[in-house]
Chains A and B, each alone.
Chain A
Amino acid sequence: MGKVLLLTRREVSAYFMSPIAYVAMALFLVISGVFFALADFRPGAPAAMRSIFDIMMLILIFIIPIVTMRSLSEEQRSGTIETLLTAPVTDFQVVLAKFLGSWIFYLAMLAPTLVYVVLLAAFGNPEYGPVASGYVGLVLLGALYVSVGLLASSLTRNQVIAAVTGFVILIVLAMLGPWIATVVPSRVWIIGVRTLVQQATVRTHYLDFSQGVVDLVHVIYFVALTAYALFLTVKVLESRRWR
């Protein structure tokens, strides 16, 4: 565990040394700020953050792969992966630390949005329950997105390809459910498939959080899928042994 912490610390400090991470952070804060101002922070609107929480699910599809794209790609491109993986650490420890590093950076990126809560409190009377559960949802959503971005970045030594691969996987993962519901005709046997796809979709499990519901099923969905993406990342790293 000590080594995971050591590696994580290096990851986090590498983020704060990297211009791209700051660009991604700024982009995220500007876009989410605009949406907050337009959707939630209006005269007459309820003092809540429902809209911005829902929109963030989409914004983050594009922001997080930019944050995670260098994580493993850059190590492979520069060759530092060789010194890293020949140190006495396991592939799993490396992936876990990469994940924690990116996730911590994501949380740091999310932290300034707490200003929205302060603004709502200053001008209205917000219900804190749904705000808190919304943030729980964002923390879990971020974990999943980061692990998918990490998987994409393990697949290639090219950062741009890593980012685009991340976008594509996340778009499919987040949006496939609602799309399939409108496209697929409702025959009995297909309904089973439709339900399955809908249950596998991020959207289905995420929206409840912003409405103040923290359902264990949803939590398990995010944790399990995050763990699965990390497992695949470890396998990709190990694949150098039989490729």
Chain B
Amino acid sequence: MAVGAMIEVENLTKWYGNTLALEEATFTVEEGQVVGFLGPNGAGKSTTLRILTGFLPATSGEARVNGHDVLLESLAVRSSIGYMPENVPLYPEMRVEEYLRFRAGLKDVPSAKRRAAVDRVVERCWLKEMRRRLIGQLSKGFRQRLGLAEALVADPPVLILDEPTLGLDPTQIEETRKLIRSLAHKHTVLLSSHILPQVEKACSHLVIIADGQIKAADSLDELKRRLAHRQQVVVELRTADTGDGPAEVGRALGQVAGAADVRVEEGGGGWLRATVTPAADADPREGLCAAVGRRGWQLREVHRLAPSIEELYARIVAGEADAGKAAA
């Protein structure tokens, strides 16, 4: 497989009884990447993460983390992962510092270094004032930070975070995102979410999953680029001197090679706005400009509508998967 691959998932399938939760999933996460694992609720995100952390076995297929097979070398895999499960389960009767020390011990941090390790993550996750607090008394935001601190305490090469920003307020989400961003390069991060904007800002790569199938897996830029070939082109023009109406404009632009569909509307002040949907893999912009020039119309603007990540996500999940499949 690829050099420097930290997480390799190959044809992973998981059945819960008669329910198919994950179907032939394949993707790779390279060292140092921050990858967003994105999909609607119930798409198979948590299942995949649980298989990677060794909590559940897959029905078939293989997964490797840091070069170790999750089934055959489970302990080695677990040693290289910091895992924060969904909803951050914690022991309410323990104190923050006590819990972190306990977890550091479980994760083979030598006892002489435990204090330093705890100090480091307490600092990093802004838990300083909460060190002596009972976990049962922590607010949601602090619980989330403690979960993150726990995942980081043994300084593992791989971090797997299941919905790390679930239930946080916008300021906390922003802080968490910054923190995760700062972990890149030193750690490989796979974080799941069903909320798009968070992922867009925190991650460089995306794996999109829906109905148990990986729909796309690539860098954010590459995914945007692959979808760009179906980007609509907007042309604003004026026909005042020639007297052509909107219908004529639509007909003329529709004849341009590569234009599949044209919608024309009034843009105000005598300007017309034509939205051209291109045929697959075509870029009709030059043709459109030439056509406008030939008719003697005045051209004010030509631009492509860049797909937003929401649109991207919706299109991929909805199964417009030609872009996604090529990427995966």
List A residues at the B interface (Cβ < 8 Å).
Answer: 2-3, 6-7, 10, 14, 17-18, 78-83, 85-90, 240-242
B91 touches A14 (CB 8 A): yes
Give 3 closest A-B pairs by Cβ, nearest first.
A79-B89, A17-B93, A80-B89
B79 (CB) vs chain A CBs: closest residue = A88
**Across-interface contacts of B85 in A (CB, < 8 A):** 79, 82-83, 86
Contact A241 B106 (CB under 8 A): no
12 A-B contacts (beta carbon < 8 Å): A2-B105, A3-B106, A6-B106, A14-B94, A78-B89, A80-B89, A80-B91, A83-B83, A86-B53, A86-B55, A87-B103, A242-B57
A90 vs B54: C-alpha distance in the bound complex, in angstroms?
Answer: 11
Q: How far is the CA of A114 from the CA of B54 in the complex (A)?
A: 46
DSSP majority for the B interface? loop
Chain B residue numbers with a CB within 8 Å of A88 are: 75, 78-79, 106-108
A6 to B107, CA, bound (A): 11
CA distance A78 to B150 in the complex (A): 17
B90 touches A (CB below 8 Å): yes
Whether B89 and A86, one on each chain, are in contact in the complex, defined by CB atoms closer than 8 angstroms, is: no
Cα A42 to Cα B224 in complex, Å, equals: 88
- Contact of B54 with A86 in the complex, beta carbons under 8 Å: yes
Contact A87 B89, CB 8 Å, known A82-B55, A240-B56, A241-B56: no
Q: A3-B105, A88-B106, A88-B107 are in contact. Are A83 and B89 (CB under 8 A)?
A: yes
- Asked if B172 is at the interface (CB within 8 A of a chain A CB), the reply is no
Which residues of A are found within 8 Å of B53, using beta-carbon distances? 86
> Are the CB atoms of A10 and B102 closer together than 8 Å?
yes
Query: How far in angstroms is the closest Cβ of chain A from B23?
Result: 20
- With the chains together, A28 CA to B81 CA distance in Å? 44
A90 with B90: in contact, given A3-B105, A7-B106, A79-B85 (CB under 8 Å)? no
- Considering only residues 50-85 of chain B, those with a C-beta below 8 Å from chain A are 50, 53-57, 75, 78-79, 81, 83, 85
Q: Distance (Å) between the CB of A81 and the closest chain B CB?
A: 8
**Chain B residues closer than 8 Å to A89, beta-carbon distance:** 106
Q: A17-B93, A240-B56 are in contact. Are A86 and B105 (CB under 8 A)?
A: no
B78 A86 Cβ-Cβ under 8 A: yes
Q: Given known contacts A7-B106, A82-B50, A88-B78, what 19 new A-B pairs fall within 8 Å (CB)?
A: A2-B105, A10-B94, A10-B102, A14-B94, A18-B93, A78-B89, A79-B89, A80-B89, A81-B89, A82-B89, A83-B90, A83-B150, A86-B78, A86-B85, A87-B107, A88-B75, A88-B106, A88-B107, A241-B57
